[in-house]
């Protein structure tokens, strides 16, 4: 079974997908971490993000795996913390706009997911990577609400205005990609999370899944 979830940055996809994975005994796959891992490696190589060829080369040379919930980059376990900072946020947005990088990532995600019951979240899980997913959800909330949630987490010492500006920029990049742009799949269930708690969103998703399939 494949449950695919898409939505803009900061809408709570990771937290929600992780909770649902636990509840429904699904394997959790965070596709954004694939772009973040390639970005991390490119930063470590002191690569130039405006040089497409070198970004593609880094993507080709990055081996990503997930085993027992641990994310490995070139066989080294990498934590969420290592993949989340302002530099990786901005540059992963740029690197993910390169179609060749996307096709490398898409291929690896499909390989990792094959034969498993998974919940995958990102920007193009419902549209490009798993167009035949059993369940498709699109989570949404206004930029201001998403920025406020991010700001309240006090992740990187940025002001609310800075968080909002970075989020808007990344929204724009996500929506204007030549390939894999963020959009709502025609048959996706849209959930506006603006005034819902994480738990309420999880319940909505689980109810929709359970209605059609016994978990
Ligand atoms: O979900 P996230 O913020 O961790 O994703 C990191 C970057 O990768 C972000 O700029 C959006 C991009 N991304 C993408 O283009 N396609 C996906 N399926 C997942 C993430």
- The pLDDT score that the predictor gives to residue 215 is 55
CA of 214 to the centre of ligand 1 (A): 31
Least confident of 17-31, 53-67, 149-163, 181-195: 149-163
| Residue 91 Cβ contacting ligand 1 at under 6 Å | no
pTM: 0.93
CATH 3.40.50.300 domain range(s) in the chain:
1-26+118-204, 28-116
- The pLDDT score that the predictor gives to residue 62 is 98
Residue-wise pLDDT tens digits, 38-63: 999 999 999 999 999 999 999 999 99
CATH superfamily, with its number, for domain 1-26+118-204: P-loop containing nucleotide triphosphate hydrolases (3.40.50.300)
Rounded-to-integer distance, Cα 62 and Cα 141, Å = 33
| Residue 7 Cβ contacting ligand 1 at under 6 Å | no
Burial of 87 (0-12, 13-18, 19+ CB in 10 A): exposed
- Confidence class for position 214, pLDDT limits 50, 70, 90: low
* Pocket residue to mutate for ligand 1, from 42, 64, 92, 153, most atoms within 8 A of Cβ: 92
Query: 191 and 140 in contact (C-beta within 8 Å)?
Result: yes
Question: What's the fold here for domain 28-116?
Answer: Rossmann fold (3.40.50)
Dihedral through CA 144, CA 177, CA 6, CA 165, nearest 10?
-20
Please give the residue that has the higher pLDDT: either 214 or 158: 158
Which helix H or strand E contains 159, and what residues bound it? none
| Residue 58 Cβ contacting ligand 1 at under 6 Å | no
Q: Is 211 helix (H, G, I), strand (E, B) or coil?
A: helix
Taking the CA of residue 6 as reference, the ligand 1 atom at the shortest distance is 18
Burial of 138 (0-12, 13-18, 19+ CB in 10 A): buried
**Measuring from atom 14 of ligand 1, which residue has the nearest CA?**
123
């Amino acid at each position: 079974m494949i449950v695919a979830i898409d939505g803009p940055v900061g809408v709570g996809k990771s937290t929600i997908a992780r909770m649902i994975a636990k509840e429904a005994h699904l394997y959790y796959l965070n596709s954004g971490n694939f772009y973040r891992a390639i970005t991390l490696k490119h930063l470590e190589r002191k690569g130039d993000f405006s040089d497409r060829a070198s970004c593609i080369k880094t993507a080709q040379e990055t081996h990503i795996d997930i085993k027992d919930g641990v994310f490995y980059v070139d066989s080294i376990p990498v934590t969420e913390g290592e993949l989340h900072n302002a530099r990786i946020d901005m540059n992963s947005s740029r690197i993910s706009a390169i179609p060749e990088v996307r096709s490398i990532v898409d291929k690896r995600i499909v390989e990792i997911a094959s034969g498993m019951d998974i919940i995958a979240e990102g920007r193009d899980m419902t549209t490009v990577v798993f167009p035949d997913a059993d369940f498709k959800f699109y989570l949404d909330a206004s930029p201001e609400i998403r920025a406020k949630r991010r700001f309240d987490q006090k992740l990187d010492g940025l002001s609310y205005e800075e968080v909002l500006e970075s989020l808007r920029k990344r929204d724009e990049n996500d929506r204007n990609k030549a390939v894999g742009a963020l959009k709502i799949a025609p048959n996706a269930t849209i959930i506006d999370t603006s005034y819902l708690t994480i738990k309420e969103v999880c319940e909505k998703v689980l109810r929709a899944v359970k209605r059609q399939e016994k978990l």
